Chain A
Amino acid sequence: MLLSIFKVLVFPGLLFLGTYSFLLEFIDRKVYARMQNRKGPPWYQPMADMLKLIGKKVIVPRNAQKFVFAALPTVSLAAVCAAFLCIPVFGSTAITAYSGDLVAVLYLLTIPTLCHFLAGYNSHEVYSTIGAFRTLTQMFAYEVPLFLAFLSPAILAGSWSISGIAAFYMAHPLYTLINIPAFLVSLLASQSKLERSPFDAPEAETEIVGGALVEYSGRYLAFFRATAITELTAMASVLAALFLPFFTGSVWLDFALYLVKTFSIVLVMVLLRATMARIRIDQTLKFFWSILTPIAMAQMILNLLLRGGLGL
Chain B
Amino acid sequence: MNTEETILALNKHFPALEAVSNRPLRVFTAFAEPKAFEETLRYANLTLGYHKGKHIIGTDEGENIGLSYIISNDEDVLLVLRERVPKSAPHVHSMGELYPSLMLHEREMVDLFGVQVSGLPEGPRYPLPDCWPDGEYPMRKEWNPAYFNKQTVTYEPPKQEDAK
Q: Note whether A and B contact each other (Cβ less than 8 A).
A: no
A residues bordering B, Cβ < 8 Å? none
B residues bordering A, Cβ < 8 Å? none
